[in-house]
Amino acid sequence: MLAGLVVGLALIPEAISFSIVAGVSPSVGLYSSVVMAITISIVGGRRAMISAATGAIALVVAPVAKEHGLDYLIATVLLAGVLQLVLGAVGFAKLMRFIPRSVMVGFVNALAILIFIAQLPHLVGVPIVVYPLVVLGVAAIVLVPRITKAVPAPLIAVALITAITLLGGIAVPTVGDEGTLPSGLPAFVLPHVPLTLQTLGIIGPFALAAALVGLVESLMTAKLVDEITETGSNKTRESIGQGIAQIASGLFGGMGGCGMIGQTMINVRGSGARTRISTFSAGVFLLILMVALHGLVADIPMAALVAVMIMVCVGTFDWHSIRPSTLRRMPVGETVVMVVTVIVVVATNDLSIGVVVGVVTAMIVFARRVARFATVTRTVGDDGGVRYLVDGELFFATSNDLTHHFDYAADPDLVVIDLTGSHVWDASTVAALDAISTRYGRRGKTVEIEGMNAASTRFHGRLTGSLASGE
């Protein structure tokens, strides 16, 4: 519950900031965070993960709010929730198995960089006293766990810095400077938009983008928490839970959201939370802080929250991945994938785009690496017969050059291609084998293919002769 209190405090300035990004009132982002945190704690599939209003979703839905108003924004959030329910039900979460470790490391490192960059506005053009307060907060977070772990160190840091500024009458930027906190409970609302195809055309593309971005970020966050806590989670339940939480957010006038990796790191790594209680209490405490204690919360120095987020950055970044010893041992392709992921995420400020580009880069690197594995060996028997032994996996990356390994002019009338050490994976390979047979056939020669396993035989038999060889 104390971990939830720390997260609730940290959510306030972020939710206000994301509301500004989306072009709506701070109350919209704050209410969205309350509803999503409480809802996902019940229906989500990853314990201790925090879901609330996020910058990624704010960026996606901002054009709707700007051009069409709040009602269309809420309609977009509701549709995004429905789409997430559908995607979750059809197994979208299973796609996470195709995200390689190098992309995951790049995702984590980029996130740490983005969190740090987000703190810079609170460190530039501020009174000089802010800097020692931030240093004090960082020191408290580092040293307190060595004395006691009964109370989360970030909470002690926030309380300490707040007490110093209030008792000492020190004027520094506070949470209240970020925006006005609401003083009432969220109310049930329905968007006043016409139920027409024109409305669907307006909100549809943004809803789909929000649904995909929200699921990718949430599932990546869940996967990271799995590794940190060494426990499993139900990704399909999490996907469906995100849809339910998204719909609940919209029904209470929220701007939607998704899994928050920064706040989750505060909860899991900074405070040691492991249960749904922490997520539930984060939403409850955020509501209490907004409604009952908004005056006190408004006086919390931003320096305290900056200190917390800086330590989150330090704990999130995978420092092992950039050690010289690691870089020397790691294949160049793996490092390239990680770096590309980091660069794209930081450049676009969008984690989902970075993940997609990282996965595509990893696919290219993998295809280039595997393309070198297939070999063709030509042997001549005592009777003058020629046999080609093909060894390795045959798919588009390896089979495109397959036709160049045969001596069509010099080979005898009967040529044997032995695929005992191979497997035919795709139509490109079948087309390549057909092309080889065609080239020999033009010279009046015959090709015999032998040694294929049962699966390759069935696949080859189904497609051979029906594909254009390009000859």
The rounded Cα 4 to chain-centroid distance in angstroms is 23
Let me know: does 209 contact 215? Beta carbons within 8 Å.
no
pLDDT for residue 355: 83
Q: Does the pLDDT at position 307 exceed 80?
A: yes
Let me know: does 291 contact 184? Beta carbons within 8 Å.
yes
pLDDT for residue 237: 96
The CA distance from 187 to 248, in Å, is 11
Let me know: does 217 contact 211? Beta carbons within 8 Å.
no
The CA distance from 448 to 170, in Å, is 88
DSSP string, 142-199: HHHHHH--SS-HHHHHHHHHHHHHHHHT----BGGGG-PPP-S-----------SHHH
Cβ contacts of 137-144, under 8 Å, gap ≥ 24? 137/161, 137/303, 137/304, 137/306, 137/307, 137/308, 138/307, 138/310, 138/311, 140/307, 141/270, 141/307, 141/308, 141/311, 142/311
Name the pLDDT band for 404 (thresholds 50, 70, 90).
confident
Q: Kindly state the helix (H) or strand (E) to which residue 94 belongs, with its residue range.
A: none
Q: Does the pLDDT at position 269 exceed 90?
A: no
DSSP state of 392: E
Of 7-16, 164-173, 214-223, the range with the lowest mean pLDDT is: 7-16
Name the pLDDT band for 470 (thresholds 50, 70, 90).
very low
DSSP string, 223-255: HHHHHHHT----HHHHHHHHHHHHHHHHHTT--
pLDDT for residue 471: 52
pLDDT for residue 388: 93
**Positive or negative torsion for Cα 185, 186, 188, 193:** positive
Q: Does the pLDDT at position 468 exceed 80?
A: no
pLDDT for residue 190: 93
Give the pLDDT confidence of 286-299 residue by residue, as tens digits: 999 888 887 887 88
Strand partners, 174: 301
Tokens (6 digits) for 198: 């024109």
Q: Does the pLDDT at position 397 exceed 90?
A: no
Name the pLDDT band for 270 (thresholds 50, 70, 90).
confident
Helix (H, G, I), strand (E, B) or coil at 383: coil
pLDDT for residue 424: 92
pLDDT for residue 48: 94
pLDDT for residue 295: 81
Give the pLDDT confidence of 335-376 residue by residue, as tens digits: 999 999 999 988 987 777 888 899 999 988 887 777 667 889
Name the pLDDT band for 241 (thresholds 50, 70, 90).
very high
DSSP state of 98: G
The CA distance from 290 to 233, in Å, is 31
Question: Left (φ > 0), alpha (ψ -120 to 50) or beta: where does 354 sit?
Answer: alpha
- Report pTM: 0.70
pLDDT for residue 73: 96
The CA distance from 52 to 11, in Å, is 8
DSSP state of 452: -
Give the pLDDT confidence of 34-67 residue by residue, as tens digits: 999 999 999 999 999 999 998 778 878 888 998 9
The total number of residues written for the chain in this structure: 471
Tokens 């660069």 belong to 343
